[in-house]
Amino acid sequence: MADLNGDDPGSTGLSRRSLFVFGAAAAAGLIAMPGIVRASNRIAPAPPRVLDVVNTNTGESLRGVAYWADGRYVPDALTALDRLMRDHRSGEIHPIDPRLYDRLREVAQRMGHRGEIHLLSGYRTPETNDGMYEASPGNVAVNSFHSSGRALDLRIPGQSTRNVYRAAMTGQLGGVGFYPRANFVHLDVGPLRTWTDRPTVQSRRRATPVRAEVQPAAKGRPQPAKPAQKATTTRRETPSPVRPTNR
């Protein structure tokens, strides 16, 4: 006889109890599963953005300054970098566009460089820039991005200027100036463009005069010489790179 309390393994009461237990376990599993999914979908926080910069004009340096962390720029670190980037001639400090620090860091990362970066020029007052333009109009722009805190000139120790330039041109997000003669690279966050200080091959004309030929005399009478041909001209042109007014 079946036990009405459900103790009989074949009874309906035991089946209901088993279903209840199974259902409770399943419900617990369903409750836990979303938590597991959420945990697996969590994105690890991005590492801080760090720079090692040496100002070659003042000798000052910042080592391992984390200017970006936890998804935002760090105000105190930006202030320290802005001071390092000041106009060393006048001492004036100007806010620097944080994207410029990002560009500087990205160039170093593309080259696998983890050491210091040499800063040759950061912010320039309009007066400083005007003086530099008068001294070297071919290498300094009238309306330079340096004077708005959006440009810098750099070198990376142990790396050639050409390699730095190539790294800067990869994923280019602004202006890149290549100065092999002065041994530095210009970076800015202005419009997309590039230029160089290398002398270009100018148009050349090479004239090769053709001498008048004298024909041998025939029957004792000299033959008139053929008229001299015009000098041939070989012209070679190499287009000059566009030199922006802002850099």
Per-residue pLDDT of 17-64, as tens digits, reads 554 444 555 444 444 455 544 555 677 889 999 999 999 999 999 999
Q: Mark out the alpha helices in the chain (DSSP H runs).
A: 12-40, 75-84, 98-110, 126-135, 161-169
Could you tell me the pTM of the whole model? 0.66
Q: Which run of H or E residues covers position 192?
A: none
Domain ranges of the chain: 49-196
For residues 159 and 111, the answer to whether their CB atoms sit within 8 Å is yes
What's the half-sphere exposure (Cβ side, CA atoms, 13 Å) at 171?
Answer: 10
**How is domain 49-196 classified at the architecture level of CATH?**
2-Layer Sandwich (3.30)
Proportion of the chain above pLDDT 70, given as a percent:
64
For residues 53 and 38, the answer to whether their CB atoms sit within 8 Å is no
Residue 79 has pLDDT above 90, yes or no: yes
Confidence of residue 15 (pLDDT cuts 50, 70, 90): low
